[in-house]
Amino acid sequence: MSDMERKKRIDAIDAARGLALVLMVIHHGLLDLIVLCGAPEWLFTNPVFDVLHYFFAGLFIFLAGLCCRFSRSNLKRGIICFAIAMVMTVVTSLPIIDSPIRFGVLHLLGFSMVFFALTHKAWDAIPRVIAPFFYAAMTVFTAWLVAHTSIGAAASWLFPFGWFPKGFESADWFPIFPWLFVFLLGTWAGLYVVERKLPERFYTFTCPVLPGIGRHSLLIYILHQPILYAVIYAVRWVFKI
């Protein structure tokens, strides 16, 4: 494959990322309505969104792993992503913010990119036919592990890994376990995409709007909450809510 073919954007990937981002913005918007406007909690906590939350979060993280196969330097991307996440931590820790972001999705993605950049040879050594089952099993196992062991109280610094102390709060929290293995599953799938082993329709697929959103996912993710807050406060001021 030529460098030009390798670097060409694939609308199917951008559209899927755009869809995940749209769902995430809607999800956060409903939460903001509850927190800022006193809307009923069932808008955010209900059987539909309880399932969709994990779907679009998992899709977003999976696609980030997949896109690692197209990157020239995952180490550089990861450091930049994690640095942006830390800026968000500092900003959301200001007294005017109700709940800081301790270890959100950008922290997770930044860490995962750096981790993969430093260890990818070990993960790529796993036979491809076994890798997806291994990653899926580790996702389930580590989710169970952090849910059924309580070492966070004794070691509060473990909250990035999934264990958290009593009273821990984070407006956005995506711990390394189990989400790292969803990211690694994406890196496995990315090999097949890069090698063009998927049906040709996958590479020629196109649709309106969503690919454009997906291409600007980082910027939209950073800006969507301030914009939502501004819109909600403006509506409250106009209608005296």
Q: For residue range 154-180, what is the model confidence (pLDDT) as tens digits?
A: 577 889 999 888 878 888 889 999 999
Share of the chain above pLDDT 70, in %: 94
Q: Which domain holds residue 148?
A: 3-239
Q: What is the pLDDT, as a whole number, of residue 153?
A: 58
Among the residue ranges 1-10, 39-48, 105-114, 214-223, the one predicted with the least confidence is 1-10
Q: How many domains does the chain have?
A: 1
Q: Which of 63, 233, 52 is nearest to 43 (CA)?
A: 52
Q: What is the pLDDT, as a whole number, of residue 2?
A: 40
pLDDT over 90 (residue 195):
yes
Rounded to whole angstroms, the Cα distance separating 222 from 228 reads: 11
Average pLDDT score over residue span 175-198? 97
Q: What is the pLDDT, as a whole number, of residue 169?
A: 81
Share of the chain above pLDDT 90, in %: 60
pLDDT over 80 (residue 6):
no
Q: What is the pLDDT, as a whole number, of residue 131?
A: 98
Rounded to whole angstroms, the Cα distance separating 152 from 207 reads: 45
pLDDT over 70 (residue 238):
yes
Q: What is the pLDDT of the chain when averaged over all its residues?
A: 89
Taking a C-beta distance cutoff of 8 angstroms, is the pair 109, 64 a contact? yes
Residue 45 backbone phi and psi in degrees, to 5 = -105, 100
Rounded to whole angstroms, the Cα distance separating 206 from 224 reads: 25
Q: Which of 224, 203, 197, 204 is nearest to 213 (CA)?
A: 224
Q: For residue range 110-159, what is the model confidence (pLDDT) as tens digits?
A: 999 999 999 999 999 999 999 999 999 999 999 999 988 877 555 778 89
Give 96's pLDDT tier (boundaries 50, 70, 90): low
Q: What is the pLDDT, as a whole number, of residue 121?
A: 97
Q: For residue range 197-226, what is the model confidence (pLDDT) as tens digits?
A: 999 999 999 999 999 999 999 999 999 988
Q: By three-state DSSP, how is residue 221 classified?
A: helix
Rounded to whole angstroms, the Cα distance separating 82 from 216 reads: 17
This prediction has a pTM of 0.89
Q: Which pair of structure tokens corresponds to residue 207?
A: 């649709």
Q: What is the pLDDT, as a whole number, of residue 69?
A: 96
